Amino acid sequence: MMQQYLSIKKDYPEEFLFFRLGDFYELFFEDAKKASAILEITLTGKDAGAKERIPMCGVPYHSAASYIETLVSKGYRVAICEQVENPKHTKGIVKREVVQVITPGTLLEGKTIASSENHYLGAVVLTDPIELAYVDLATGEAYATILSGSHKTLFAKAQELNIKELVVGEADAILLEELGESFDLPLAVHTNLPEREVQEDSLAAQLLLSYITTTQKRSLSHLQDFIYYEQQQFLSIDSASKRNLELLKSLRSGDEKGTLVWLLDETKTAMGSRKLKQWIHQPLANRLAIEKRQNQVEALLDDFLLHEEIKELLTHVYDMERLLGKVSFGTLNGKDAAQLRKTLQQLPKLKQLLQNSTHHELQILGERLKDVLGCRELLEEAIAEQPPLTLKEGGVIQSGYHEKLDQFRYAATNGKDWLAELEQKERERLGAKNLKIGYNRIFGYYIELTKSVVHLADESRYIRKQTLANAERFITEELKEKETLILNAQEEALLLETQLFEEVRLKVQSYMADLQAAADGLSEIDVLQAFAVCANRYQLTRPTFTTNREMIIKEGRHPIVEKMMNNQHYVANDCILTEKANMLLITGPNMSGKSTYMRQIAITIIMAQMGSFVPAEEAILPITDKIFTRIGAADDLAGGQSTFMLEMVESRNAINGATANSLLLFDEIGRGTSTYDGMSLAQAMMEYIHDHIGANTLFSTHYHELTELEGHLDHLKNVHVAATEQDQKVVFLHKVKEGPADKSYGIHVAELAELPPSIVERARELLAGYEEQEDRQLSIFDFERVEPVHKPQTLHPVVEKLQQLNVMEMTPLEAMNVLYKMQKEVQKGR
């Protein structure tokens, strides 16, 4: 057996090999030592012909899933080695094979797998541009795209999609390994890199399919055709902006509360919840596609009764996409089949409701819902009304579906009735009220008598089989004969039922394409009805779209902040950007609401391009291609970046990636460095965006000197968030008004934060002194913006190398290595 183990383990050196022995998965040698420590299970040993006892540990097969999930969640891989032939029919060692390799990206179920989120496995090929493909194995969804940019762009995209594992070829692994560690993304090196069959085919998709086939070793019929898309089809929101805007995860708590998905997730199904997150990840950038969704939401709002009926039907819909994944993988159980049947029973009702609607947009939705009548009727005929969880319990197949199965069940049932009658008859004959007939796997059926009545046993009929502390167990020839009939009938029934269930599963699999189309339609209907719920509940308005960069938001609100305020009055604000003035410089005291105002503009754009209604009295919006934000202050300690460095990196990404159709939000750029540095950087960035990009831009600042830019930049307009003083206390009005703020109220804010009174008073004294200084005014427009003049000069070779370095693309370790080499050159006098 150990020779067999070592032979199999040789092909899986990096994986934990779960080796099936009876009712346990056993691990040996180094696997056992490592697993026992990670899983906190007992490490034992086994004599197996070696000089020393072989380290060994194991877990029961029926509870192995949680142990496997623990290992995989820590980035390890697990190879499942099963017995592939019946021990009863085998002489010698039972044949065993690895039937599946479970990895971070191929884990399908467990506590760490949220049903409302996609669990993607990705693959990348470092061509130019970079090819990326990703699949959710549980649902069968498959996508492929291309990415322009650096390797860091790739990992940022993987983070954005929440990819759990990235498959790479051997050549690319060396380039990506260090970055994978810094981004905490497991890399799987796959040696079987296929050749590109057709120039247009995605090599990344082929690599991914090859990896899945190699590791899963089972049917993949539920995997859908790859959807190839270009980034231009969607509103691009980089991972930093998604984090800053709190679209899916709160910056404070790390969970969904206080996020856009928390606001909008009024879906009734897990499929709908996943679809909603996909739409938040990738809002549309096509006006006609957006307006189609808007029309459908509006139709649901117009027909309240229809909307209520749809919501009710969706409450009876299970996670059809993941159920179909189980159908394909062969892991479907009785309860899963009943859930699929229940879901399919809702389809004709939903289809009829939508097609009977007076709204053409809803009729189109109804046409997408294929009834899949044959599959529904099959499950209704074959699957019991309330089947047990496992086939071993019996009773999954409906009575009347198969004549032979019914016969076996009748024999088994009659045999049990006969046992009950025999038990009663023997009690009466012996006068032993506590006589009972039981069963165990060793002796089969037996008659049990307590010690007090054991003398009543008829020795000519009763054959003693087992002695217990307080009882004796007997068998009779008549009981043994009936036992054979009963057990054979039960065994035959279970074997036949297993065979019939497998046939049903394969028949369901033949309907896969129509079932998946129906599931996609159901999930889309669920998200659209959720949008209708939110539009009604939060008083949202349908936006309209322009073909230019003009943006008019009247009485706009931040819907998430408003919901968090529990119906307290939220101060609404306008945001007007025109072709002639599409850059706002926002001033005002800290805590006055500048950041909230900027975020609500971005949230409004995102909701609109998802197809949702928006929190405003009126919204006329451009189609935005990209959103970049630099909001908030948080050190990236893991990446070795300070707050200011992170500010500059995110600012660089925005400036390099933005187009005239983008939206840029910069919140107090430069506050992480000295006043003059920060102010100079802020002005230079504003000038560059104004002159070279022309994107819609909101720029908040605490440098009041920058408000003078309004007279120098044609498209810049000053606005401020109003505040006032009452009894030497600052009162925030949260109202955005035209013009610059007249003062910062910094000391008042410190007072609100309950800084010690002595500090506040001393600060007021110092401020009064500074204000009296005649030369305290700082002007940043004492010079004209001119192109720099470059004079030819001879540079030191080290300086030339420094100029050529792209510092922003370097890791801290790379930077240290380069710096060390340069220092050596200087010391040698080069």
Decide if 284 is inside a domain: yes
Q: Return d(Cα 97, Cα 5) in angstroms, integer.
A: 10
Q: Return d(Cα 79, Cα 19) in angstroms, integer.
A: 8
Coil, helix or strand for 739? coil
Decide if 771 is inside a domain: no
Q: Return d(Cα 42, Cα 252) in angstroms, integer.
A: 40
Same domain, 724 and 621: yes
227-228 and 24-28: which strand pairing? unpaired
**What CATH code is carried by the domain that includes residue 136?**
3.30.420.110
Same domain, 73 and 160: no
Same domain, 528 and 662: no
Q: Per the omega criterion (within 30 degrees of 0), is the bond before 129 cis?
A: yes
Same domain, 49 and 6: yes
Count of structural domains within the chain: 6
Print the domain residue range for 15.
2-102
What the block records as the tokens of 83 is 């017995």
Decide if 243 is inside a domain: no
Same domain, 444 and 476: yes
Given this model, what pLDDT does residue 771 score?
Answer: 59
Residue tagged 């070696």 (tokens): 50
What the block records as the tokens of 685 is 């960035």
Which residues define the annotated binding site? 588-595
Residue tagged 């060994």 (tokens): 56
**What CATH code is carried by the domain that includes residue 490?**
1.10.1420.10
**What CATH code is carried by the domain that includes residue 15?**
3.40.1170.10
Decide if 477 is inside a domain: yes
What the block records as the tokens of 357 is 């609607």
Q: Return d(Cα 315, Cα 266) in angstroms, integer.
A: 12
Residue 451 one-letter amino acid = K
Q: Give which of 703, 695, 743, 735 is closest to 719, Cα–Cα.
A: 735
Given this model, what pLDDT does residue 322 score?
Answer: 96
Same domain, 584 and 677: yes
Q: How many CB atoms lie within 10 A of CB 759?
A: 12
Given this model, what pLDDT does residue 637 score?
Answer: 34
C-alpha distance from residue 748 to each of 313, 672, 703, 728, 753 (Å): 55, 22, 17, 8, 9
Residue 243 one-letter amino acid = R
Is residue 84 within 8 A of residue 99, CB to CB? The reply is: yes
Coil, helix or strand for 444? strand
Give the residue from 479, 504, 529 where a domain finishes: 504
C-alpha distance from residue 290 to each of 267, 284, 297, 507, 623 (Å): 19, 6, 11, 38, 10
Q: Give which of 686, 691, 725, 724 is closest to 703, Cα–Cα.
A: 686
Decide if 159 is inside a domain: yes
Q: How many CB atoms lie within 10 A of CB 122?
A: 24
Given this model, what pLDDT does residue 635 score?
Answer: 37
Decide if 717 is inside a domain: yes
Order of strands across the sheet that contains 44-46: 44-46, 54-60, 24-28, 16-21, 78-83, 96-102
Give the residue from 447, 479, 504 where a domain finishes: 504
**Rounded to the nearest 10 degrees, what angle do helices 594-610 and 287-302 cross at?**
90
**What CATH code is carried by the domain that includes residue 641?**
3.40.50.300
Same domain, 194 and 94: no
Task: Give Cβ neighbours of residue 215 (< 8 Å, ≥ 6 apart).
Answer: 100, 101, 102, 103, 106
Q: Return d(Cα 777, Cα 76) in angstroms, integer.
A: 62
Q: Give which of 594, 618, 627 is closest to 719, Cα–Cα.
A: 594
Can you list the residues of the chain whose pLDDT is less than 70?
179-180, 182, 193-200, 567, 632-643, 670, 672-675, 725-730, 742-753, 766-767, 769-795, 808-809, 829-830
Decide if 113 is inside a domain: no
Same domain, 705 and 596: yes
Order of strands across the sheet that contains 551-556: 544-546, 618-622, 551-556, 573-577
Which residues define the annotated binding site for ATP? 588-595
Given this model, what pLDDT does residue 72 score?
Answer: 94
Decide if 767 is inside a domain: no
Alpha helices in 457-610 (DSSP H): 477-509, 512-537, 559-564, 594-610
Which DSSP symbol is given to 693? I
C-alpha distance from residue 58 to each of 44, 65, 403 (Å): 9, 13, 43
What the block records as the tokens of 341 is 């049947």
Q: How many CB atoms lie within 10 A of CB 446?
A: 22
pLDDT tens digits along 105-126? 999 988 888 888 999 999 999 8
Q: Return d(Cα 336, Cα 326) in angstroms, integer.
A: 8
Same domain, 634 and 718: yes
Q: Return d(Cα 641, Cα 403) in angstroms, integer.
A: 72
Is residue 243 within 8 A of residue 159, CB to CB? The reply is: no
Burial class (CB within 10 angstroms; exposed 0-12, middle 13-18, buried 19+) of 531: buried
Same domain, 130 and 270: no
Given this model, what pLDDT does residue 772 score?
Answer: 63
Residue 46 one-letter amino acid = K
Same domain, 214 and 315: no
Give the residue from 74, 102, 130 where a domain finishes: 102
Q: Return d(Cα 371, Cα 416) in angstroms, integer.
A: 42
Rg (CA), the chain: 35
Is residue 591 within 8 A of residue 749, CB to CB? The reply is: yes
Task: Give Cβ neighbours of residue 561 (< 8 Å, ≥ 6 apart).
Answer: 570, 596, 600
Q: HEC profile for 277-311? A: HHHHHCCECCHHHHHHHHHHHHHHHHCHHHHHHHH
Partnered with residue 165 across adjacent β-strands are 121
Given this model, what pLDDT does residue 820 score?
Answer: 75
Q: Return d(Cα 535, Cα 301) in angstroms, integer.
A: 8
Same domain, 585 and 695: yes
